Chains A and B, each alone.
Chain A
């Protein structure tokens, strides 16, 4: 593997984090998948055995963070990696851990532009102020590695959690990285520490942590993570993250020589350094993705003229051309107008043969339009045409609670959809709440055996763990029974008529009914078949008939109509048989 090379490798920012952690001597890593952080966990999983570290996909981010804290309490360096709103979930434990002097490295990946996020475009740098947690922000893969090491140094020297904040483009761009030595992990030993309860003690700890931050503030002033590139220009550029790389190119392109202050450690904020930088310029341009975090800090300490969010958007990814246009605009440079190209949007779709499609379509067919409470996962794509089902999607597990609230206040029985991983993550306590509080709802748990949307990580349902060892596979229907749902049944999504009957039966029951819709993620099935050289059947239309029009509502992307004729694109038919079950007289297995 590239990341275990001796000297150098071509790494993504996510890889860089893993290498940096290995060079810091970590003993364990924990995560719950969430893109753009997902690959950090995947790479840890891949190298764990060979490097002697422990890695797990935890059931959610809070548990991942807590496990990492347990390791740190035992003297072992540990790291947890989550996507931006993954840290929302873990926050409840992160903040007290800061009070408890727990040396942790928390990697959080923001997603400007929301390439793989539908919930929020939040800027995780604010967690630093909320929790008094130092925050480091790399611009490229080499820095991702170095700053991970630096994060461990600060965490263990000052006994404090440290956040390494990445952004999509840093996570997902690759460049050559020079390596240091990998340090072997140490074995843990839990040493009891003094732990007292009481308000006074919590206030005391709060005071301690402020003192620490003030100490680390001194470090921030002299840290090599914050550096100035001197130049004669009277406009100074202050930047952080990937936009630093764009600034370098843009200045070259415009043939401008402007001083740059690059900020890698933005909390505690290096006030003195910034002031000294501003002394030599007449105005500053602050270029940072998402919120005006650095800009606001500067406005607090200096009255110099600043351009920032007046020019560079607070939403979306900042691209190199926007840095070019922004700097040009501020400096009064005119650029040629680029040609405009209009292109249709292309939406993602549920895979051919996807278990969610079969389930969603069956529900709509049997029950008509109900209140459809949606959850996070591949099933979200059921929002698009032709299914157009879920009325909303909020966060992992939220489908259950929100559906509950709607049914309590409207008296209507909602249909709640949730995937297996989301069910384990936050759906289980929510289902318990439904039972306890006498809800009237149908909960359909689509059990595709994997955490699919983030790229098929195993979960408590899969039968293997992150390190590819055999693991227990829990039975979701048994869980629902144990939670005392009023009706529980499992159904196979590929036996279409039976599935329809089961939906009808489940919905008719008053109270909490749970239908576990079983069907392995079709993409996994197809990949495994290809690996083993097994040919899955392909289907074809054998008779043109008006009945085929129904397939429009089903929406398998392999089934298409051209010049009035239906056909199945064999390149992408994944042989699930459901179309044949819907229109049996017109479709056959193709020979």
Chain B
């Protein structure tokens, strides 16, 4: 790993992005990193683009990832994945949920555009898998974390992530989320 790791978690409001970010922040703190994070919340409306920046490593100043400097982008929706590619470079891994929300764009074209600027896009229909597993899509965030972990894209120990999930998720949902993390990790 370089000195610092730069992660973008992207999607639109109401998708559980903040929780996913919180889990990664918790895990990276546990491993003794200097961590900075930024996201803009505090507004209630739905549907607007949302991206969270997490940076961890030896010493971090800027809370924002600079353009072209993300190591990993986890996106909960395809158009938002493309938007987040503002932060991508030829080494960036993009993990994306194949959902296209309120847009005429086609997934295939979006992925092609992403692969032009990033190293690799891993695309998965996370909503479908999570719905089949739990009956709803609220767990997509944890599933995608697991998926990224399975691809070796997060330089954190699984142990720290599990621990962080326990600290950030309401008790009655922990078991389900543990299952989703595993499921994501094992998915292709």
Contacts and interface: CB of A to CB of B under 8 A. Distances in A.
B107 interface: no
A558 to B, nearest CB: 11
Kindly state the interface size class of chain B when it binds its partner: 35 or more
Interface of B: 12-13, 25, 29, 34-49, 60-64, 66-68, 79-80, 82-83, 85-86, 102-103, 105, 113, 116-117, 127, 136-137
A319 B66 contact: yes
A320 B48 contact: no
A475 interface: no
Contacts of A571: 127, 136-137
A10 B29 contact: yes
A587 B83 CA distance: 35
A248 B34 CA distance: 15
B79 A36 contact: no
B62 A346 contact: no
B45 A453 contact: yes
A343 B78 CA distance: 11
B12 A172 contact: no
A470 B102 CA distance: 41
A140 B64 CA distance: 12
Q: Is the interface of A mostly helix, strand, loop or mixed?
A: loop
B47 A338 contact: no
B68 A338 contact: yes
Contacts of B41: 172, 455
Contacts of B117: 339, 341
Given A319-B64, A346-B49, 9 more contacts: A116-B43, A173-B36, A174-B25, A174-B36, A174-B63, A175-B37, A245-B62, A338-B68, A346-B83
B42 A38 contact: yes
B34 to A, nearest CB: 7
17 contacts: A10-B29, A140-B63, A173-B38, A173-B63, A174-B38, A175-B34, A246-B64, A339-B116, A346-B47, A346-B103, A348-B13, A348-B43, A349-B46, A351-B45, A452-B44, A454-B42, A521-B44
Given A175-B63, A341-B85, A343-B79, A455 B68 contact: no
A169 B62 CA distance: 10
Interface in A426-456: 452-456
B99 to A, nearest CB: 10
Contact of A175 (B39, B60, B103, B105): B60
A324 interface: yes
A38 B82 CA distance: 30
B27 to A, nearest CB: 12
Nearest to A170: B63
A320 B62 contact: yes
A347 interface: yes
A168 interface: yes
Interface residues of A, number: 48
A154 B177 CA distance: 49
Nearest to A341: B85
Contacts of B85: 341
Given A36-B42, A344-B79, A351-B46, A174 B61 contact: no
B82 A343 contact: yes
B67 A321 contact: yes
A519 to B, nearest CB: 15
A140 B44 CA distance: 25
Contact of B63 (A169, A347, A351, A381): A169
Given A172-B39, A175-B60, A347 B48 contact: yes
A523 interface: yes
A341 B82 contact: yes
Interface string A295-323: 00000000000000000000000011100
B63 A245 contact: yes
A455 B61 CA distance: 29
A294 interface: no
A537 B155 CA distance: 42
A176 interface: yes
A521 B86 CA distance: 35
Contacts of A378: 44-45
Contacts of A174: 25, 35-38, 63
Interface in A330-388: 338-339, 341, 343-344, 346-352, 378, 381
B73 to A, nearest CB: 12
Contacts of B64: 169, 173, 246, 319-320
Contact of A381 (B35, B45, B102): B45
Given A10-B35, A346-B47, A557-B47, A39 B42 contact: yes
Nearest to B53: A173
A359 B153 CA distance: 47
Nearest to B136: A571
B37 A453 contact: no
